[in-house]
Amino acid sequence: MSDENVITELVEKMTLEEKAGLCSGDDYWHTKGIPRLGIKRAMLTDGPHGLRRQVGKADHLGLNQSVPSTCYPAGATAANSWDTELITQMGSWIAEEAAAEGVSVVLGPALNIKRNPLCGRNFEYYSEDPFLSGKLAAAYIRGIQAKGLAACPKHFAVNNQERLRMVIDALVDERTLREIYLLPFEYAVKEGGAKTIMTSYNRVNGEYATESPHLLEEILHREWGFSGVVISDWGASNDRVSGLKAGNHLEMPSTGGESDEEIIQAIRSGRIGEELLDQRVRALLRLIRETAPAVEEGRDYSREEHHRHAQEIAEKSMVLLKNNGSILPLAPGTRCAVIGDFAETPRYQGAGSSIINPTRLISPLEALKASELEITGYEPGFHRFGKRSERKKERALALARRSDTVLLFLGLDESTEAEGLDREKMALPENQIDLLRALSRINRRLVVVLAGGAPVTTPWDAEVQALLHGYLGGQAGGAAIARILTGEVNPSGKLAETYPHRYEDIASSAYFPGREKTVEHREGLYVGYRYFDKAGSAPKYPFGYGLSYTSFAYSDLKADQPGAEFFVTNTGKRRGAEICQLYIGAEESRLFRPERELKGFARIELEPGEAKRVRIDLDDKAFAYYNTAAKSWMVDPGRYQIAVGPSSRDLPLRESLTILGDGGPVPYSRKLFPSYYSGNVANMESAEFQRLLGRPLPDPHWDPAERIGANTSILESAGHKGLGAFLYGLIRFLQPFCRYNLKKSTALQASLFMPYRSLVKMTQGLINTPMLEGILTMANRRFFKGTAQFVRAWKKRRREQ
């Protein structure tokens, strides 16, 4: 019998309760099994840069321990490799570990666009550019799925701030939505063939992503032809039945049967037909059955080998930002002081649901001591969490005086880059900069190694000779750093995001984060380098930039519509890898658009003196824009420039092409959209943004007179007297006690952003909706009535159980 027939038969045999039950988790990490029909439970697990398989207590913020697995470099790091083959391998290595642990669905890749450098979760995401993000995501997915498991690209969609992530409404115009925020997911689905996708917590233009007919039914299912399983982010489900209708299959985690009951009632009352549920169940059964063989065959893997793989990714991903007078690589025997807390206690991953319990951990200090350098000593130099310490500084200065070269390890600490919270500023802590300045006065040979998963401002970099960005290098990152500093490895990573001079240089700086109800994407298409190029302002380190110990020359570009060819020669003395980039821009355009956009890239290895011909094929989106009037991608006829080179700001090869295109009217007049045409979008007026959005801007502010409801966040309710203020006060009161437990203190802070709904959606049945109603009554200052309601609901539930 064919698989589809087996599934049809199973669906026929399943009761309504069993079908509804399959649409939500059994617990935190599993779907429900139905033993009488031989339907097994399937396990889903984070993701994305390794495996966070919990066996004891479960949570979605990495609070509880998980079994050891290889901690690969975080998404922000691996993206700098621009190496799709390597990312596919990374996917397959993670899949081997997943299969060995009985995991069917790996919750990754994470590919939200880095709209703003302060988003607290940027370390997990790939890039500010949708093409690069999409291509890397598709590569990762292919790696996972080639091993018979399913990947789960996340978080669909426009989830680019952590503040109030479970309630915030992302306002974004349709063209920007398609060209910037959805495009990477389109690649993930169409090129990666993702078998599942995770819907995000937030609302998009007024609708929760997890129940948005526009995102799920129209775009994902109908336009992109997605036939897999849509999974809500943990606790993202709001109205379960609307979600199911829109195209969501699986709610995670379990709600103790509560949402199953909602589905059953919706069918009994005729709100939805049973065929709809059957369709969702079919997709779920397909997923469970398709992934089962790989899980059953899962074998143990070599920890040692995977550790080496993690190191290889790190080595190809770190970015050399500065190297004055070729101070790097350091010759054997160079007398180096190692200074900075991050050398001994590395930052190697971000905090939250992606946190991996590594199988090993190599610190840069350990790796440097094992190298051929002469290490004169180690001093932490500063307090990791920003406290000043003259003693630490003085000891570091004394060590620097005794050494020829100073290797200074700076970075962002664990609490700064954590899921659930955004960063407050781009600068490194003052105590680190202060030490850097003091060291640079003593020892001119100052090399800084940075740790962190997102851009920092570097107003101090004129004082250092070399700057290596180690990003978050995973468990073997320390070894990769040492090998790059000593030249055993030639650095080859290039930035997948722009580093500005100042935070204010970022297009969205005035609109980020959304503070209360909405987050307005007023800058439109001009995210990252698209803004810097359009506005003609200079970034500190541009998108696509990164140095090598060798040099490359570009020549002989030949371009046509299907693709471009050119030569790259290694003109230096070492073997090295170069990341060649191809951008396309319209020479004169009838519509507003970025100056140029990344449309192709290739990573090549070259021996000294070697030249290679590079071919980059263009896809159907290379010249296209999303036409909102026609509701489709179209190509505007005209002349386009193909520009090729080593970074977005260094494009030596250029050629013009005439493209015939689709013609027809363009939806934007210059008069109505002057700032979008000029690129002057950092102070966008409401009226112009509103025109682009195509509807009145909703009030961004909370209304203190509004009733506290299931979707009110604790933070918002703090403004009302009563329970909300009490909960807020309690959280604030508890915070100092968790000061030394970073995981707990960030989780506590993030809990302020949670809506009351989470009490039902995240407690696996401990609290049900009638109990929540009681809590909400209390929060609305009817304390005694609410308590009675709560107790009644609690007793009723106990009786039923």
Active site residues: 233
List, in sequence order, every residue forming a beta bridge with 796; answer none if it has no partner.
none
Query: Looking up tokens 């070697």, which residue turns up?
Result: 610
46 in contact with ligand BGC (CB under 6 A): yes
Using CB under 6 A as the binding rule, whether residue 371 contacts ligand BGC is answered as no
Cβ at position 14, least distance to ligand BGC in Å: 27
- Of 323 and 353, the one with the shorter C-beta distance to ligand BGC is 353
Site string for ligand BGC, 83-122 (x = CB under 6 A): ------------------------x---------------
Residues 194-213 touching ligand BGC, rule: CB under 6 A, are none
Q: Is 755 one of the binding residues for ligand BGC (CB under 6 A)?
A: no
Nearest in space to 71 (alpha carbons), one of 97, 95, 50:
50
Q: Which two tokens stand for residue 556?
A: 């002989």
Measure the CA–CA gap between 137 and 155, rounded to whole angstroms.
Answer: 12
Q: How far is the CB of 504 from ligand BGC (least distance, A)?
A: 29
To the nearest whole angstrom, how small is the minimum distance from the Cβ of residue 753 to ligand BGC?
A: 12
601 to 496, 581, 614, 615: CA distances (angstroms): 12, 4, 10, 9
Out of 60, 147, 163, 280, point to the residue binding ligand BGC (CB under 6 A): 60
Q: Give the start-end residues of each E strand in 369-508.
A: 374-379, 405-411, 446-451, 466-469
d(CA 39, CA 18): 11
Measured from the CB atom, the residue of 226 and 234 that comes closer to ligand BGC is: 234
The answer to whether 137 and 126 have CB atoms below 8 angstroms apart is yes
Is the C-alpha dihedral spanning 687, 690, 691, 692 positive or negative?
positive
In the list 32, 53, 115, 154, the residue contacting ligand BGC (rule: CB under 6 A) is 154
230-251 as b/e: b if 16+ CB within 10 A: bbbbbbbbbbbbbbbbbbbbbb
Q: Does 251 bind ligand BGC (CB under 6 A)?
A: no
- Residue 47 contacts ligand BGC per CB under 6 A: yes
Q: CA 752 to CA 798: how far, in whole Å?
A: 29
Q: How far is the CB of 211 from ligand BGC (least distance, A)?
A: 17
Closest distance between ligand BGC and the C-beta of residue 59, in Å?
Answer: 8
Cα angle: 375, vertex 379, 382; to 5 degrees: 145
Distance CA 638, CA 631 (A): 21
What is the rounded distance in angstroms from the CA atom of residue 74 to the CA atom of residue 752?
26
Residue 350 near residue 124, CB atoms below 8 Å: yes
Number of residues that bind ligand BGC (CB under 6 A): 8
CB of residue 168 vs ligand BGC: minimum separation in angstroms? 14
DSSP string for 95-143: HHHHHHTT-SEEE--B-----STT-TTGGGS--S-HHHHHHHHHHHHHH
Q: Which two tokens stand for residue 395?
A: 């000891």
Near ligand BGC by CB under 6 A: residue from 66, 212, 291, 353:
353
Nearer to ligand BGC, 353 or 675 (CB): 353
SS3 content of the chain, % helix, strand, coil (to 5): 35, 20, 45
Q: Does 522 bind ligand BGC (CB under 6 A)?
A: no
- B/e letters for 724-756, b = 16+ CB within 10 Å, e = fewer, are bbebbeebeeeeeeeeeeebbbbbbbbbbbbbb
The residue whose two tokens read 């909602």 is 262
Q: Which is nearer to ligand BGC, 149 or 598 (CB)?
A: 149
Smallest distance, ligand BGC to C-beta of residue 233, A: 5
| Contact present, 534 and 592 (Cβ < 8 Å) | no
Q: Binding mask 558-597 vs ligand BGC (x if CB under 6 A, - otherwise)?
A: ----------------------------------------
Q: How near is the Cβ of 106 to ligand BGC at its closest, in Å?
A: 10
CB closer to ligand BGC out of 154 and 286: 154
Nearer to ligand BGC, 45 or 431 (CB): 45
Six token digits for residue 217: 């039914």
Residue closer to ligand BGC (CB basis): 119 or 564 = 119
Is 185 one of the binding residues for ligand BGC (CB under 6 A)? no
Which residue, 353 or 581, has its beta carbon nearer to ligand BGC? 353
Q: Report cis status (omega within 30 of 0) of the bond before 266.
A: no
Nearest-approach distance from CB 351 to ligand BGC, in angstroms: 12
> Which residue in the set 169, 233, 379, 533 belongs to the binding site for ligand BGC (CB under 6 A)?
233
Smaller CB distance to ligand BGC: residue 46 or 533? 46
> Distance between CA atoms of 467 and 545, rounded to whole angstroms?
13
Q: How far apart are CA 761 and CA 262, in angstroms?
A: 13
Q: Considering the complex, what minimum distance in angstroms separates the CB of residue 54 from ligand BGC?
A: 9
- Nearest to ligand BGC of 107, 779 (CB atom): 107
Which one of 123, 125, 234, 460 is in contact with ligand BGC (CB under 6 A)?
234
Of 317-336, binders to ligand BGC (CB under 6 A) are: none
Q: Which two tokens stand for residue 677?
A: 């045409």
CB hemisphere CA count around 146 (13 angstroms): 16
User: Which residues contact ligand BGC by CB under 6 A?
Assistant: 46-47, 60, 107, 154, 233-234, 353
